[in-house]
């Protein structure tokens, strides 16, 4: 890899930009055209501007390997290829291992901290190994936030828990597991997005805690991640009034340089959260944000809406003396050090099918799901002896990648004469018109851009009417323990229920086997490979 000093100033700045791109190979497969450039545009940015990297979403794990090779072939300087894979490759790219959300490990930690640490290490190790096999060299994981706000719509079960010591312990184990490879890791979202009820994808949240509270709750997991050798820290679009009453953390020199760099001693890469998020776009235009983020001490701008605008804005700021060229050089030194770490130890082309979803990885997923499962103690569902309803509630019917006609959430109830009815959580009114005996399955978790943590006053009222109708024969909740807590406060004593943190087919099979006490089908469902 050529020395960064031989690059022009614009090329040096371009190395500080990571753009969003589709993981699919062809333009007609692009799912988010507002954020993902077509191949002609993307190739021009990589070849002509020498962009630093891409963040990928979409495509199968096997396709992703070909896509990564394609992107690297366009680049004069090897690219960072990043992905938001907090729950394993399979979370974003089918075919790889899909782990339960991190909060499942926090639940296990309450009973057996050593076992939870072991799972977290294996989760980091498997995720890193599979990521490198498909060409991803930068994990935008783990989430280091302490989710102590049940109404948090952005973090929720993406966090390892609601106690800083648990989060610190498990994120450290995850980082250690991932660092058994040459992959880059990321602690996010600094200085802590866990105690917010506003989604920074939509607007700018504010944390109004005192410095002593921040030092006690929010910062310890980041301090532990830094001590564990995390390679990068992602800043959050948050207003932290105790440290900077005017500027969001993304663009605050007080927070990025004085606290993260100087006080906490972090010397690795600082990367922004996505710059297309409402929490920062509503604050200022990209031209301003790009310059302010670099002034604050950031090394990498993630997902600017237009990389050409970001590069030009920073270049002009250097030309006018607003930003010193030496400031750009400091970031380039860190970027080069990180790229040398990744590409010095780069594995050659491998048979990706031999690297993904190993028996050991699937066994670990199964164990985490089994050990974090919760269910009622009083009864299980019995056959209704007539046609029942399998009512499945999801966040978005068009984006429920964990469900298809062969998913256990559909096929297991079908064996007991439950006919499926799939509805969006925001169109629940229609469910009260059906008086059949009902199995209720709820797939709700914290998800970006939704704006709430899963239950609204309107949906609570509908669920209350359904509970009062006495037509429910059982409830299965997938994802959020906060949804479970509400149901437990409302549910009648003899109603069978089961809860799992996972939403993938493997979680569905384990949960429904428990709910139906279906020993006859346990071996059948566990022997199937559902694509995780």
Distance separating alpha carbons of residues 160 and 147, to the nearest angstrom: 8
Q: Check if the beta carbon of residue 225 is closer than 8 Å to that of residue 265.
A: no
Q: Which residues contact 237 (CB under 8 A, 6 or more apart)?
A: 200, 204, 205, 248, 249, 250, 273, 277, 279, 280, 283
Is residue 440 within 8 A of residue 484, CB to CB? The reply is: no
Question: What is the number of other CB atoms lying within 10 angstroms of the CB of residue 401?
Answer: 11
From the candidates 84, 145, 169, 273, give the one annotated as an active-site residue: 273
Q: Which of 232, 147, 225 is nearest to 184 (CA)?
A: 232
Eight-class DSSP state of 78? P
Q: Identify which of 121, 78, 89 has the alpha carbon closest to the alpha carbon of residue 342.
A: 78
Coil, strand or helix at 100: coil
Which candidate in 24, 193, 201, 237 is catalytic?
A: 201
Query: Sign of torsion, CA 178 183 187 189?
Result: negative
Residue 459 dihedral angles phi and psi, to the nearest 5°: -70, -35
Q: How far is CA 392 from CA 223, 266, 370, 479, in A?
A: 41, 46, 22, 13
Burial class (CB in 10 A: 0-12, 13-18, 19+), 183: buried
Phi-psi map region of 400: left, alpha, beta (phi>0 left; psi -120 to 50 alpha): beta
- Which pairing describes strands 301-302 and 232-235: parallel, antiparallel, or unpaired? unpaired
Q: Are 240 and 214 in contact (CB under 8 A)?
A: yes
> Cα dihedral angle (412, 413, 415, 416), rounded to 10 degrees?
140
A 10 A CB-CB count for 340 gives: 12
Catalytic annotation present for 273: yes
Q: Which residue has the tokens 């040096």?
A: 12
User: Where in the sequence numbering do the catalytic residues fall?
Assistant: 201, 273
């Amino acid at each position: 890899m050529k020395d960064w000093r031989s690059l022009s100033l614009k090329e040096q700045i371009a190395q500080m930009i990571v753009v969003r791109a589709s993981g699919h190979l062809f333009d007609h497969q692009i799912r988010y055209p507002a954020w993902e450039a077509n191949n002609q545009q993307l190739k021009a940015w990589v070849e002509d501007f020498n962009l630093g990297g891409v963040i990928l979403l979409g495509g199968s794990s096997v396709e992703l390997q070909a896509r990564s090779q394609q992107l690297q072939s366009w680049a004069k300087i090897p690219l960072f290829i990043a992905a938001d894979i907090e729950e394993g490759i399979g979370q974003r790219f089918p075919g790889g291992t899909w782990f339960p959300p991190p909060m499942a490990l926090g639940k296990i930690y309450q009973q057996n901290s050593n076992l939870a640490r072991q799972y977290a290490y294996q989760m980091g190790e498997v995720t890193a190994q599979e990521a490198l096999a498909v060409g991803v060299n930068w994990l935008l994981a783990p989430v280091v936030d302490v989710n102590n706000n049940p109404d948090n719509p952005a973090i929720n079960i993406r966090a390892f828990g609601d106690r800083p010591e648990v989060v610190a312990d498990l994120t450290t184990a995850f980082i250690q597991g991932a660092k058994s490879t040459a992959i880059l890791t990321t602690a996010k979202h600094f200085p802590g997005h866990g105690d917010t009820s506003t989604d920074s994808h939509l607007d700018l949240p504010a944390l109004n805690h005192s410095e002593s509270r921040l030092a006690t709750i929010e910062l310890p997991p980041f301090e532990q991640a830094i001590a564990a050798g995390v390679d990068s820290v992602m800043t959050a679009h948050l207003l932290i009034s105790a440290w900077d009453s005017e500027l969001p953390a993304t663009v605050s020199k007080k927070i990025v340089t004085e606290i993260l760099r100087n006080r906490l001693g972090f010397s690795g890469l600082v990367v922004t959260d996505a710059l297309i998020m409402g929490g920062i776009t509503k604050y200022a235009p990209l031209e301003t944000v790009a310059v302010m983020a670099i002034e604050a001490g950031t090394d990498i701008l993630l997902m600017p809406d237009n990389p050409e605008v970001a590069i030009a804005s920073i270049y002009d700021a250097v030309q006018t003396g607003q930003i010193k060229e030496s400031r750009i050089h400091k970031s380039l030194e860190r970027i080069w050090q990180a790229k040398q770490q990744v590409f010095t130890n780069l594995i050659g082309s491998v048979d990706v099918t031999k690297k993904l979803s190993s028996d050991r990885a699937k066994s670990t997923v199964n164990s985490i799901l089994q050990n974090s499962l919760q269910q009622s103690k009083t009864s299980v569902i019995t056959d209704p002896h007539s046609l029942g309803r399998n009512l499945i509630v999801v966040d978005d019917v068009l984006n429920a990648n964990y469900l298809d006609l062969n998913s256990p959430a559909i096929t297991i109830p079908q064996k007991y004469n439950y006919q499926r009815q799939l509805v969006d959580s925001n169109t629940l009114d229609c469910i009260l018109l059906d008086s059949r005996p009902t199995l209720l399955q709820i797939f709700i978790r914290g998800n970006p851009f939704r704006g709430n943590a899963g239950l609204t006053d309107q949906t609570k009222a509908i669920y209350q009417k359904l509970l009062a109708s006495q037509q429910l024969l059982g409830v299965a909740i997938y994802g959020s323990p906060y949804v479970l807590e509400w149901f437990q406060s409302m549910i009648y004593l003899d109603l069978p229920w089961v809860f799992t943190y996972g939403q993938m087919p493997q979680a569905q099979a384990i949960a429904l086997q428990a709910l139906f006490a279906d020993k006859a089908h346990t071996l059948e469902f566990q022997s199937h490979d559902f694509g995780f």
